[in-house]
Amino acid sequence: MEHLRLIGKTYNDYCEIIDSYKADYKKTKAKAEKEIIKQKIKEKKNELKEYRKTLSKEEKEVYRDYQKIRFDIKRCEILKKADKIESKIFKKVNPAYIYMIPAAFGAIFFTILPAIFMVIGSFFKVDLVSIWESSFRGFWNYEMIFTRDTEFVKAIWNTIIFAFFTVFLLMIITLLMASWLSKNTKIHNLSQTMIFTPHIASMVSVSILWILMLDPQGIINQILSLLGIEGPNWLMNTKTSLLSVGFVTVWKSIGYYVLIIIAGLQSIPAYVYEAARLDKASKFTIFRKITVPLLSETLMFVFIMKFINSFKSFAAIDLMTQGGPRGSSMVLGYWIYNAGRVKFNYGFAMAGALILTIIVALFTVLANQVFKKKVE
């Protein structure tokens, strides 16, 4: 034991000496003296190396241990210094601001500034090629899209219909599916996975798949014809095009929202259901009076998320109908894209985008109010 401890002592002594030399080296300024000290350090290091070579295998292990401990102590000293500097900074600045920087960077440059640009731009006749040629027109853009553009007002109504249709269809389907799937067996877990897969798939592949299925001679119409029903040309019919696309987006997002609702269902404690069974409640009463009220916060989240998503839906429309036929499936998201990127009329697009923002905000606030009353 004693001789093993001696190894540590010798090692530490050597290190102390080397460290003191190093400190001297930093202090001295004359070049000649520096060289001398450098030489001394080298000598001591060599001595330490020689000493190490004399050790046996077992002793070397002890030596390494001591080495590790010394490094660790040094590391802690450095960390302490860093902590001191950190606390000095944080005493003056609220750390929250520092942690916010990365997120704030993205938000400012990709959301807030473009939004301000959008608001300003909506009052100009914008020319993106030579931006200084743009001229201020006041409310001219708004006047134009409401009076001259045949499709804009229709797009607003379509968007609202689309949003309500998808949200309610989604909520009914997901709530039923979730209450069915909220069990922990192999079959239920497998079905959960299967229902979730469309959410992972890209919108493009899902859309192409459904275009083929919704074709007049597609699988859906073939099945319907077996039942003796003549299915319409789903995507090319002015009456069905919007709802068909809505159905596809609902189908794609079922898995994701089912998962959220299942999480909500599982947070309802089991004893509440046991108490309800003792209270003679039928299954339907339990669902209506216990499950839905206790789930209302989750349902509100699903409602608002899907609502906002439906308002800005674009990809599915672009891929499946391009707003047609005759503007029957034109929604605001696609109209804005069409006005800006296709017709290069950025003033119109910006005015439309601002109106979309206002509508989304209005509906979200309204939904929030309604749900808040119900939750309380």
Partner 1 sequence: MATIELQNVVKIYGAKVKKNSKEIPKGKRAVDDVSFQIPSGSFTILVGPSGCGKTTLLRMIAGLEDITMGVVKIGEIDITNLEPGDRGIAMVFQNYALYPHMTVRENIEFGLVNARIPKFEIKERVSEALKIVGLEDYQERKPANLSGGQRQRVALARAISKTPQCFLMDEPLSNLDAKLRSEMRTELIQLHQKLMSTFIYVTHDQIEAMTMGDNIVVMNEGKIMQQGTPSEIHNDPNCVFVAKFIGDPGMNIIKVDEKYSIGFRPRDVQFDSEKNEKEDAVFVKTKILSFENHGSEFLYLVNFDTTTAFVKELSKHNRKVSSEISFSILKKDMYIFDENDNRVYDQEKIEEAYGTFKTHWENV
Q: How far apart are CA 307 and CA 112, in angstroms?
A: 22
> Smallest distance, Å, CB 266 to partner 1?
16
What six digits make up the tokens of 34? 């520096």
Nearest residue to 346 (alpha-carbon basis) of 55, 123, 90, 29: 123
Task: Answer whether 4's CB lies under 8 Å from 62's CB.
Answer: yes
Nearer to partner 1, 160 or 286 (CB): 286
281 binds partner 1 (CB under 8 A): yes
Could you say which of 147, 189, 282, 369 contacts partner 1 (CB under 8 A)? 282
Separation between Cα atoms, residue 224 and residue 215, nearest integer Å: 12
Is residue 106 near partner 1 by the rule CB under 8 A?
no
Q: Which CB atom, from 23 or from 272, has the smaller least distance to partner 1?
A: 272
Count CB atoms within 10 A of the CB of residue 25: 15
Assess 305 for contact with partner 1 (CB under 8 A).
no
Residue 293: closest CA among 257, 270, 274, 265: 265
Distance in angstroms (rounded) separating the CA atoms of residues 179 and 92: 52
Answer yes or no whether residue 289 interacts with partner 1 by CB under 8 A.
Answer: yes
Considering only 65-73, 231-239, 251-259, 278-286, which stretch makes contact with partner 1 by CB under 8 A? 278-286
Q: Which is nearer to partner 1, 46 or 285 (CB)?
A: 285
- Give me the least distance between CB of 271 and partner 1, in Å please: 4
Window of 55-63, 102-110, 140-148, 267-275 that interacts with partner 1 by CB under 8 A: 267-275
| Tokens at 107, concatenated | 């938000």
Judged by CB under 8 A, the residue of 290, 304, 308, 359 near partner 1 is 290
Q: Is 129 in the site for partner 1 (CB under 8 A)?
A: no
Stretch touching partner 1 by CB under 8 A, among 126-134, 275-283, 340-348, 358-366: 275-283
CA 247 to chain centre: 24
Q: Which residue number, 222 or 285, has a Cβ lying nearer to partner 1?
A: 285
Residue 370, interface with partner 1 (CB under 8 A)? no
Contacts of 179 (CB under 8 A, 6+ apart): 265, 287, 291
Query: Least distance to partner 1 from the beta carbon of 257, Å?
Result: 22
Residues between 210 and 239 that touch partner 1 (CB under 8 A) = none
Q: Whole-angstrom Cα distance, residue 281 to residue 216?
A: 48
* Rounded Cα distance, 271 and 286, in Å: 13
Q: Which is nearer to partner 1, 187 or 200 (CB)?
A: 187
d(CA 361, CA 375): 21
Kindly report the three-state secondary structure assignment for every residue of 42-78: HHHHHHHHHHHHHCCHHHHHHHHHHHHHHHHHHHHHH
Among 294, 300, 305, 359, binds partner 1 (CB under 8 A): 294
Verify binding: residue 278, partner 1, rule CB under 8 A: yes
- Cβ proximity to partner 1: between 55 and 281 the closer is 281
Query: CA 193, CA 106: separation in Å to the nearest integer?
Result: 33
Q: How many residues bind partner 1 (CB under 8 A)?
A: 17
Does position 30 bind partner 1 by CB under 8 A?
no
Q: Which residues bind partner 1 (CB under 8 A)?
A: 269, 271-272, 274-282, 285, 289-290, 293-294
